[in-house]
């Protein structure tokens, strides 16, 4: 009789443990989908972040001079950023005085020009008909083109600019052809630097 009671007690304990294990397993299964959703949320990267990752990787390729892999979006995305700082202007009278003074020195003094190009962050591309050239510090060609004097709109040209306290962006367009040149400057630590150059020589 005593043995029967022991066996019954053991069976009851085992049954209780089995029920406890089954109960815990069900709870884990109930939690799993929620955890999965949380993990999915943390893994979701916004479209804007994905675009930034792509553009950053393109820029790394660009900086290494792998022109065959160059993506033109790099130039046009940067230009779009600069356009957002203001509406489009063609009146030279609106150009900030400090930028006007800077531009004259930039085109007349080769050493000053090279010292005021942010080569670390520069995007500079010259597109010829069959080739694309990426300009960097080691192959930079001094340019004395008076880009400010060319701003204005007439029957053939539409040369405009956008500006803010720390950005100056100008575009030079032949109406029947399209954009010929784009220049972007940024004020960094109180000084202007060239950060974008696009030249279509085709």
Residue ranges of E strands in 46-156: 123-127, 132-134, 152-153
Let me know whether 75 and 175 are in one domain: yes
Let me know whether 2 and 65 are in one domain: no
| Distance between CA atoms of residues 116 and 101, nearest Å | 13
Let me know whether 98 and 62 are in one domain: yes
Let me know whether 20 and 75 are in one domain: no
Let me know whether 31 and 61 are in one domain: no
Let me know whether 151 and 183 are in one domain: yes
Let me know whether 130 and 169 are in one domain: yes
Residues above pLDDT 90, as percent of the chain: 52
> Which CATH number covers residue 184?
3.10.450
Non-local CB neighbours of 37 within 8 Å, separated by 6+ positions: none
Q: Do 176 and 103 contact (CB within 8 A), yes or no?
A: no
Give the residue numbers spanning the domain of 9. 1-44
Q: What is the mean pLDDT of the chain?
A: 80
Let me know whether 91 and 55 are in one domain: yes
Let me know whether 114 and 149 are in one domain: yes
Is pTM beyond 0.75? Reply is no
| Distance between CA atoms of residues 173 and 103, nearest Å | 20
| Count of the separate structural domains present in the chain | 2
Let me know whether 191 and 101 are in one domain: yes
Let me know whether 57 and 109 are in one domain: yes
Q: Are strands 123-127 and 132-134 parallel, antiparallel or unpaired?
A: antiparallel
Q: What is the mean pLDDT of residues 2-14?
A: 50
Q: Which residue has the tokens 């060239």?
A: 194
Where is 113: in which H helix or E strand?
helix 110-115
Task: Say which range, 52-66, 68-82, 98-112, 141-155, has the weakest mean pLDDT.
Answer: 52-66
Give me the pLDDT at residue 70, please. 60
Residue 118: band (very low, low, confident or very high) from pLDDT cuts 50, 70, 90: very high
Let me know whether 75 and 133 are in one domain: yes
């Amino acid at each position: 009789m005593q043995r029967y009671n022991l066996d019954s007690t053991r069976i009851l304990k085992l049954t209780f443990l089995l029920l406890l294990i089954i109960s815990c397993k069900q709870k884990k299964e109930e939690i799993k989908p929620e955890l999965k959703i949380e993990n999915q949320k943390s893994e979701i990267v916004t479209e804007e972040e994905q675009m930034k990752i792509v553009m950053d990787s393109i820029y790394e390729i660009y900086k290494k001079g792998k022109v065959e892999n160059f993506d033109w979006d790099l130039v046009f995305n940067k230009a779009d950023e600069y356009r957002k700082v203001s509406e489009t202007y063609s009146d030279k009278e609106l150009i900030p005085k400090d930028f006007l003074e800077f531009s004259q020195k930039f085109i007349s003094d080769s050493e000053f020009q090279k010292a005021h190009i942010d080569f670390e962050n520069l995007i500079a591309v010259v597109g010829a008909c069959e080739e694309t050239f990426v300009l960097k510090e080691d192959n930079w060609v001094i340019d004395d083109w008076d880009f400010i004097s060319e701003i204005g709109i007439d029957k053939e040209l539409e040369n405009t600019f956008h500006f803010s306290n720390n950005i100056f962006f100008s575009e030079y367009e032949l109406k029947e052809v399209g954009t010929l040149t784009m220049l972007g400057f940024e004020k960094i630590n109180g000084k202007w630097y060239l950060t974008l150059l696009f030249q279509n020589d085709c």
